[in-house]
Amino acid sequence: MKKEGTTLGLTVSGGIDKDGKPRVSNLRQGGIAARSDQLDVGDYIKAVNGINLAKFRHDEIISLLKNVGERVVLEVEYELPPVSVQGSSVIFRTVEVTLHKEGNTFGFVIRGGAHDDRNK
């Protein structure tokens, strides 16, 4: 959520006329985007409020972000950091997700995790 007259506090690079997919190139300390704790520099922005950015020029992306309104939903793609053996380079983040069942299923399968029996 952002108030009228304020910015998201992020800088975006990229677009079809620039160096490829739009990505977060800077987060202003204390800005809305940085305070959300859900964006990092280098994250790709796939969509803004459901509008796919795949064929947008850089200036169109900037204009969309400036005029997005008070409710902002960014669809973001990011790369997971490599996992070290000691775990020192792993950053943990908790995000709350609300799901609604369709029929009798959530529509996904969970694989992985830890178990005493390594075959499971």
Q: List, for residues 26-75, the tens digit of each pLDDT value.
A: 999 988 998 887 888 999 999 999 999 999 999 999 999 988 888 889 99
User: Given this structure, which CATH class describes domain 1-80+87-111?
Assistant: mainly beta
pLDDT of residue 58: 96
- Distance from C-alpha of 32 to C-alpha of 63, rounded to nearest angstrom: 18
Residue 65 near residue 2, CB atoms below 8 Å: no
pLDDT of residue 69: 85
pLDDT band at 10 (very low <50, low <70, confident <90, very high): very high
For the ranges 10-14, 19-23, 54-58, 116-120, which has the lowest average pLDDT? 116-120
pLDDT of residue 11: 95
* Contacts of 43 by beta carbon, 8 Å cutoff, 6+ apart: 23, 24, 76, 77, 78
pLDDT of residue 88: 59
Q: Which of 15, 12, 11, 14 is nearest to 56 (CA)?
A: 15
pLDDT in tens, 74-94: 999 887 766 655 655 666 677
- Residue for token digits 């690079």? 13
- Sketch the domain layout of the chain as residue ranges: 1-80+87-111
